[in-house]
Amino acid sequence: MKKNLALLAALAMIIQSGVQTSAPISVSKQKLQGTITISGAFALYPMVMKWSEEFRKLHPQVRFDISAGGAGKGIADALANMVDIGMVSREIHPAEIEKGAWFIPVTKDAVVAVINESNPLLGELLKKGAKKADFMHIWLDETPPTWNALVITKGRIQMHVYTRSDSCGAAETWALFLGKHQEDLLGIGVFGDPGLNEAVRKDVLGIGYNNINYAFDATTLKPMPGTVILPIDLNEDGRIDEAEKFYGNRNAVIKAIADNRYPSPPARNLYFVCHGRPQKQLLAAFMQWVLGTGQKYVAEAGYITLPEAKIVQALKKIGL
């Protein structure tokens, strides 16, 4: 017991100091080669692409085969041994654990509501935002409210609601925020994060939801051209207060999530999932690196760094 506590304490000191986590051998000193196959969540795809690029700078003989197709595909592929790692952007279900799903958190992000920047009531919408009950009416009622009803004005401007057609963490997380599951969400089904954002961008009366890295432009850090984020009225006082005005810039949203000012869900952990604990040295080494040095790339990629305690727990789970 004392030996384990000492090891965890040492790992915590390494992570806190910003030095690459290494137990017992530094990943950078290992000669690694082979291919790592990964599929799954759109939410985690940009981050994993960045990690793979940086990891290959240390280990040029390692190859990655990475594809996005939704969290459902990621965990299905992992459990079927079609890939080494499934990217999953929701909590792992008990039934999946029973089938052998082994998982660790690797970073964190959130889902936001997206509307068209040319919405005729945009000014009022940004002032008032939307309460949780409003989002429930939008995605759970057979007849969604009008845009006028949302801001309590006269008129009947119809609302066009979009949701995801693929099994994904974004939809499941957004549904959990509303107290339901993905299959309960109503609206026009669109495949993938990019597709949903594009649908809203092309529809003046559209509303949807996106993972933050598909809701914001990676270069400007502003909402994707043609769209804005519909704020959540967190204290439900009928207006967006100064403390709730953090949606105009990706970094501001990230800080709000890190400071626990954005509700969870739709803030959530993102996971690596395997079929059983990884036995290959290459996989264990990559995961170790992700939880150590790899965390320094998280913020610049538009994600939230894991708390130190979760990193230490994940390293212990890998077997370090």
Q: For 277-307, what is each residue's pLDDT tens digit?
A: 999 999 999 999 999 999 999 999 999 999 9
* 30 confidence band (pLDDT: 50, 70, 90): confident
**pLDDT tens-digit series, residues 205-218:** 999 999 999 999 99
Q: Which residues are paired to 131 by β-bridges? A: none
pLDDT of residue 45: 97
Percent residues over pLDDT 90 in the chain:
90
**Is CATH 3.40.50.1970 the classification given to domain 111-258?**
no
Q: Please name the residues in contact with 76: beta carbons below 8 A apart, sequence gap of 6 or more.
A: 86
Q: Please name the residues in contact with 93: beta carbons below 8 A apart, sequence gap of 6 or more.
A: none
* 9 confidence band (pLDDT: 50, 70, 90): very low
Angle, alpha carbons 276-282-284 (nearest 5°): 50
* 22 confidence band (pLDDT: 50, 70, 90): very low
pLDDT of residue 80: 98
Angle, alpha carbons 200-260-318 (nearest 5°): 95
pLDDT of residue 266 exceeding 70, the answer is yes
C-alpha 162: how far from chain center: 19
pLDDT of residue 53: 98
pLDDT of residue 163: 98
pLDDT of residue 58 exceeding 90, the answer is yes
Question: What b/e string do you get for 37-71 counting C-beta neighbours within 10 Å, with b at 16 or more?
Answer: bbbbbbbbbbbbebbbeebeebbeebebebebbbb
Query: What is the number of H-type helices and E-type strands within the chain?
Result: 13, 9
**pLDDT tens-digit series, residues 145-175:** 999 999 999 999 999 999 999 999 999 999 9
The CATH code that applies to domain 2-109+268-318 is 3.40.190.10
* 320 confidence band (pLDDT: 50, 70, 90): low
Domain 2-109+268-318 identical in fold to domain 111-258: yes
Global pTM? 0.86
**pLDDT tens-digit series, residues 114-130:** 999 999 999 999 999 99
Query: In the chain, how long is the greatest CA-to-CA distance?
Result: 69
pLDDT of residue 31: 87
Q: Please name the residues in contact with 278: beta carbons below 8 A apart, sequence gap of 6 or more.
A: 84, 102, 284, 287, 318
| Token pair 């499941």 in the structure block, residue | 172
Tokens of 47: 């981050």
Q: Is the backbone peptide bond immediately before 46 cis, with ω within 30 degrees of 0?
A: no
Question: What b/e string do you get for 163-188 counting C-beta neighbours within 10 Å, with b at 16 or more?
Answer: bbbbbbbbbbbbbbbbeeebeebebe
pLDDT of residue 29: 64
Tokens of 49: 């692409």
Angle, alpha carbons 195-181-45 (nearest 5°): 40
CA distance 286 to 295: 12
- Report the candidate in 45, 30, 39, 96 with the shortest Cα–Cα distance to residue 65: 39
Angle, alpha carbons 70-75-81 (nearest 5°): 125
Domain boundaries, the chain: 2-109+268-318, 111-258
